Amino acid sequence: MTSSSPKVIEQVPLSFQVANPQNYGWFVSRLPQQHIDYLWRIINKKKGESHKQHLIGNISSSYVLEDENDYFFLNVLDPLARQYHDKAGGQHPMRQYQRELTNYRLGLDSFWVNFQKKHEFNPYHDHGGVYSFVIWLRIPYEHAEQNSLPFLDGVKEQDRKAGMFEFQYYDIFGRATHHGYRLGKDVEGVMLFFPAMFKHTVYPFYNTDETRVSVSGNLWLKTREQQLLDNT
């Protein structure tokens, strides 16, 4: 008995569409110098109110900042939130609040500066509110030098995370996925703007006594009355 070759039938074109499930993303923005100068000015004017009790990690010092005349909210945060809403389409964190938007407006609820020393860190966490952000103002090291330290010998390249900032989220199969930022002086002035529920971590850095400085904050929905009280 001889086996016959598979029969080739006439090819019929198959039509299909690619389905790409939407997921949340984040914005990366390099701030203009005028906004960086403003942040340094309000940092230098800080009144000393500590923000450390609101942090989950191990950070030397953290202080509440005052957004004078809503400058940063009006010129940076509100425009980014509006663009996120437009560019993300139906997949944006404001969607769950559609019914409340007639009575509530987005506002800057918390605003602080972190001063981080070597060996300090923030474990995986998320923030309250609708949107959050981080801005790196001073990075006293380079990624390459941090991750070539002797104690990392033998560690796989993808697992060398000294001094990094990293997001964690889940893919369509339910697997934890990570996206990291290798920090160095080239990211000074860079801002990440993201949905507040995005989990993220800050890894410790080593071999320098200089301080890493970053600014963070959260945007919440507020009533008009709350916004008026905040401005009094």
Containing structural domain, residue 139: 27-230
Nearest Cα to Cα of residue 122 among 167, 175, 179? 167
How many domains does the chain divide into?
1
Whether residue 15 lies inside any domain: the answer is: no
Whether residue 122 lies inside any domain: the answer is: yes
Record the pTM: 0.83
Whether residue 78 lies inside any domain: the answer is: yes
Whether residue 21 lies inside any domain: the answer is: no
Whether residue 8 lies inside any domain: the answer is: no
Q: Which residues on adjacent β-strands are paired with residue 169?
A: 177
Whether residue 1 lies inside any domain: the answer is: no
Whether residue 161 lies inside any domain: the answer is: yes
Give 40-99 pLDDT, tens digit per residue: 999 998 766 766 566 666 777 889 999 999 999 999 999 999 888 777 655 556 555 555
Nearest Cα to Cα of residue 197 among 36, 23, 5? 23
Give 147-192 pLDDT, tens digit per residue: 888 878 888 878 888 889 999 998 888 898 999 999 999 999 999 9
- Secondary structure of 63-83 in HEC code, one letter for each residue: EECCCHHHHHHHHHHHHHHHH
Whether residue 82 lies inside any domain: the answer is: yes
> What CATH number does the domain containing 139 carry?
2.60.120
